[in-house]
Structure 1
Amino acid sequence: MQLSNKKNKQKMGRPHVMVIPYPAQGHVLPLMSFSRYLAQQGIQITFINTEFNHNRIINSISKSSHDDYVGDRIKLVSIPDGLEDSPEERNIPGKLSESVLRFMPTKVEELIERMISENNGGAVISCVVADQSLGWAIEVAAKFGIRRAAFCPAAAASMVLGFSIQKLVDDGLIDYDGTPKVRKAIKLSPGMPEMETDKFVWVCLKNKDSQRNIFQLMLQNNKSIESTDWLLCNSVYELETAAFGVAPKILPIGPIGLAHHSLQQESTSLGSFLPQDRDCLDWLDRKIPGSVIYVAFGSFGIMGKAQLEELAIGLAITKRPVLWVNSCGDQPPIEAGSDRIKVVRWAPQREVLSHRAIGCFVSHCGWNSTLEGAQNGIPFVCIPYFADQFINKAYICDVWKIGLGIELDERGVVPRLEVKKKIDEVMRANGDYKKRAIMVKQTLMKSVAKDGFSYENLNKFVNWVKLQSELTKF
């Protein structure tokens, strides 16, 4: 078990929250932002990562600035995930979830026991905040009598889908292992985005064993989070009013990245698994405002050769500048030596999307990317491929109407002319997509401003944590 920043000592009486994210980039980043917000409010944080991810985070920031990133109120702790000898399996969601469930509960339990022992049996943790997909972490906290909060890094609609599983079975839409019995589009409630049964979160894994594992894990998590004191969601009430109406226990606190926007820009990279190429910001400075197409498909964004080629050609024939984040490491087939297209391995996405040069976001529609694009008033071109991304795409295209989806051809590939057509449409000067995107941006900004829903919920949670600390003093 590895501990970093050892100078951080738990002080008696200080509110202390243990944060446990699911070990994937899209889960770690929002929970790190949440942790930094809590730290701003005077709360001590113990942040749990797998050893593999912990090392990637530490290696992605310079040693000289490590203490500046972590601060004196965040302790980074690492535990094994059981996949040390086969890191490639971490890109298989079913495999990773299975290993996490086998190895991590015992390690977290041992860590809490050690912390209690070092404090002579006294209470050292005011609350455990666990990723909503880690129901076992809620159960471990309950075993020690620790107060608990679940954090959903996805849209509230994704949680509502999980809560609706039994009804979907009863209505004959899915089998008991999650397999769709019919192929159709449904709405769980009026005002919620349309969902296709063959694109439900667990169905999109394309592997029957993984599908069954994730499906059963979701059922188990539903039971586990019933015992939580809080069910927090990195979302905005006004953008998901129908979903929050179906499940009023879910409290919006997002966009959590906006909630700590007063932090220094450098801190936004804490939690990133890869070093960020900040040179791309200088490249953007040289571009005309609103002219650049930003292309990024997240940490799992691996494309086939045919798709990569069609996308590259489609971007090229727009004749617009392109900033392309290609995390898989393969060089896209682009114009060699051209200053019009810049390819980087990883980018400081929040800063990129807030740059005046960005005019369009070609995205996989992960929830973090969805919020980060929306909070900067950027129109989308959507190419979802996995899990909740289809729900997010429906929000973007059908509910908020700030972007367009792309139709696949008979090969299951996004064709080049379709890429160009949709980009041209959303980037049209003074177009409706940009106007609506600005309106959504204003809604998100209000949510974290004083008296906003998210602002009030965050304040209530912080005050509650501090009260728990007072109640558990010895």
Structure 2
Amino acid sequence: MDSGDLPNPISRTISYRSSHIVSIPYPGRGHINPMINLCRLLSPRIDLTITIILTEEWIKLISSDSSSPNLPDNIKVRSIPNVLPSERTRGNNYTEFFEAVMSKMTDPVQRVLNELNPPADIVVADALLPWIVDICKQRNVPAVSLWTESASIFFALYKFDRLDAAGRLPDDFSGDETLSYLPNVSSTHIANLLPNATTFDLLRAFSRDYYWFHPAHSLLTTSFDKLEISVMEKIRSEFSIPIYQIGPLIPHNLLSPSPNPTNPDSSPYFSWLDSQPNSSVLYVSLGSFLSISDHQMEEIAMGLIQSKVKFLWVLRDKLFCVDKVDEDTGFILPWCDQLRVLCHSSVGGFLTHCGWNSTLEAIYAGVPMITYPLFWDQQPNTKLVVDDWKIGLRLKENDEETVKREMIVKKVKKLMDFDDEESKGMRERIARFKEVCQAALEVGGSSQQNLDEFLQQVSKRFN
């Protein structure tokens, strides 16, 4: 990757000796993006070198994002071979992919670490890479864990592991098994807190493999201080290592000035957004990981069109009903700058798969959501958005359900109706979430202070 300058989002500086931080994300966009955003936040703050280790495939994928800004000069990218199933087929057999990450990444990562000069002073690794702790022990280097999902999922997996170890798991999670460990939420059913449609074996793999952070130096989370207060209190009561909420790790610092010399705001879709009334457009994106059946995609397309609400829809692989969509209906494109779109004045709603990064971006932008979860933590994230925070509507109740166009029309119209009392309430609540979120990211805000404290702690290893 080429290097380039980025605006420094931090007005004050902290003095540390030169050091080398190595970051190793889990190979998925929802994990790589927050790790890279963390590295961007670190780069102007201390005199250091940062190395990000990615597969060759992911380096090509990131490089192909033409509007992505260059990395700062002190962030380098090193590659490991494509030892994993392709990102394009990852969703077809996620268990196979996860097992490959556990068994095939270790050796090539070791080789890269052996070649680094200067060597790593600290390694920040995704929480789903448990093998990193042994690698760091061999080098007498502290390992830091980055958790890129919600605190609720973190603690639910921890409790799942404790129940499993004690032989207290039910045959399934559909009955009355409840846990009272999460106060101030609408339901404590373990079925609502753990990723659904997931086998016990995969849940066991996740919960036990990320358990390595007990011997870790510290744990970083992409949440912010006032978002999941009660859950974070419970987590801190169970773990002795320092835990720092430094999120959201989204590219907020790249919003202004524009990070791209070619000015992405001049793109056709931004010109189209500029021509729309305030809060009139529904932004639609269901992520890049899993595909949706052609039948369901057709229902979504027709529901959007029949709602008469204008929409901007990101469709990466398939273009449905393009012949029925014009500038008076909506705009369909294969990719967009999501956070910049969500922050645009004409966007008033977000139809989302409810991935954690997308959820945090919606909160940052103050945009209420319609949720359409597909996999893993997206269903529990929907529960947070709809039931606990009350900043969105649920489009489907279970994984087997095909959502008909009539339901899509109903939910889209309700969300985008500013005279609807429920919609008004959601907008008022997410406006408050937005204020707290953006305050956490400001200079002197809680997330910056937590990141400062983390850096002060790890700097003791350097001096």
Structure 1 and Structure 2 fold alike (TM over 0.5): yes
Residue aligned with 2:307, SS: coil
Structure 2 residue 112 is the aligned partner of structure 1 residue 111: yes
For 1:456 and 1:33, the matched residues in 2 are separated by: 17
Matched length: 437
Give the structure 1 partner of residue 168 of structure 2. Answer: 172
TM-score (normalizing by structure 2): 0.86
How do residues 374-413 of structure 1 correspond to structure 2 at under 5 angstroms? 374-407=363-396, 412-413=401-402
Shift of 1:259: 6.4
Give the structure 1 partner of residue 49 of structure 2. Answer: 44
TM-score (normalizing by structure 1): 0.84
For 1:126 and 1:276, the matched residues in 2 are separated by: 39
Shift of 1:18: 0.5
2:349–2:370: 8 Å Cα contact kept in structure 1? yes
How do residues 343-362 of structure 1 correspond to structure 2 at under 5 angstroms? 343-362=332-351
Structure 2 residue 404 is the aligned partner of structure 1 residue 415: yes
Give the structure 2 partner of residue 77 of structure 1. Answer: 78
Say if 1:409 and 1:373 are closer, same or farther in 2 by CA, change over 3 A.
closer
Give the structure 2 partner of residue 160 of structure 1. Answer: 155
Say if 1:77 and 1:214 are closer, same or farther in 2 by CA, change over 3 A.
farther
Shift of 1:131: 0.5
Shift of 1:201: 4.7
How do residues 84-95 of structure 1 correspond to structure 2 at under 5 angstroms? 88-91=88-91, 92-95=93-96
Structure 2 residue 450 is the aligned partner of structure 1 residue 460: no
For 1:202 and 1:408, the matched residues in 2 are separated by: 14
Aligned-residue CA RMSD (Å): 2.9
Give the structure 2 partner of residue 292 of structure 1. Answer: 281
Structure 2 residue 361 is the aligned partner of structure 1 residue 365: no
Residue aligned with 1:231, SS: strand
For 2:400 and 2:104, the matched residues in 1 are separated by: 40
For 1:411 and 1:56, the matched residues in 2 are separated by: 32
The AA in structure 1 aligned to 2:52 is F
The one-character-per-residue Cα deviations of 1:78-132 (angstroms, maximum 9, x if unpaired) are 1124236x665423322221111121111111211222xx55xxxx322100001
The one-character-per-residue Cα deviations of 1:9-62 (angstroms, maximum 9, x if unpaired) are xxx952221011110011111111001000121332100111111111123237
For 1:231 and 1:173, the matched residues in 2 are separated by: 27
Give the structure 2 partner of residue 102 of structure 1. Answer: 103
Say if 1:193 and 1:245 are closer, same or farther in 2 by CA, change over 3 A.
farther
How do residues 25-424 of structure 1 correspond to structure 2 at under 5 angstroms? 25-42=29-46, 43-61=48-66, 69-83=70-84, 88-91=88-91, 92-115=93-116, 118-119=117-118, 124-169=119-164, 170=166, 172-174=168-170, 180=173, 182=175, 188-192=181-185, 194=187, 197-198=190-191, 201=194, 203-205=196-198, 208=199, 212-213=201-202, 215-222=204-211, 224-248=212-236, 249-257=242-250, 260-261=253-254, 264-266=257-259, 278-327=267-316, 329-339=317-327, 340-407=329-396, 412-424=401-413
Residue aligned with 2:393, SS: strand
Residue aligned with 2:244, SS: strand
For 2:44 and 2:65, the matched residues in 1 are separated by: 23
- Percent of residue pairs bearing the same amino acid type: 26
Give the structure 2 partner of residue 272 of structure 1. Answer: none
Given candidates 426, 431, 440, the residue that maps to 2:415 is: 426
Which protein has greater RCO, CA pairs closer than 8 Å, 6+ apart?
1
The AA in structure 1 aligned to 2:431 is I
Shift of 1:186: 5.3
For 2:257 and 2:150, the matched residues in 1 are separated by: 27
2:223–2:248: 8 Å Cα contact kept in structure 1? yes
The one-character-per-residue Cα deviations of 1:385-439 (angstroms, maximum 9, x if unpaired) are 2111112111111121111112459971112222122222222226111111111
The AA in structure 2 aligned to 1:32 is I
Shift of 1:165: 1.8
Say if 1:464 and 1:265 are closer, same or farther in 2 by CA, change over 3 A.
farther
Of 186-195 and 460-469, more deviation after overlay is shown by 186-195
5+ residue gaps in structure 2? 5-15, 237-241
Given candidates 418, 421, 432, the residue that maps to 1:439 is: 432
Say if 1:294 and 1:277 are closer, same or farther in 2 by CA, change over 3 A.
farther
1:128–1:138: 8 Å Cα contact kept in structure 2? no
Say if 1:410 and 1:98 are closer, same or farther in 2 by CA, change over 3 A.
closer
Residue aligned with 2:308, SS: coil
1:198–1:204: 8 Å Cα contact kept in structure 2? no
1:308–1:333: 8 Å Cα contact kept in structure 2? no
For 1:245 and 1:460, the matched residues in 2 are separated by: 18
2:287–2:355: 8 Å Cα contact kept in structure 1? yes
Say if 1:285 and 1:159 are closer, same or farther in 2 by CA, change over 3 A.
same
Say if 1:310 and 1:277 are closer, same or farther in 2 by CA, change over 3 A.
farther
Say if 1:34 and 1:401 are closer, same or farther in 2 by CA, change over 3 A.
same
For 2:141 and 2:256, the matched residues in 1 are separated by: 30
The AA in structure 1 aligned to 2:219 is L
Residue aligned with 2:461, SS: helix
For 1:142 and 1:361, the matched residues in 2 are separated by: 44
For 1:27 and 1:146, the matched residues in 2 are separated by: 22
5+ residue gaps in structure 1? 269-274
Give the structure 1 partner of residue 20 of structure 2. Answer: 16
Shift of 1:199: 6.1
For 1:6 and 1:364, the matched residues in 2 are separated by: 33
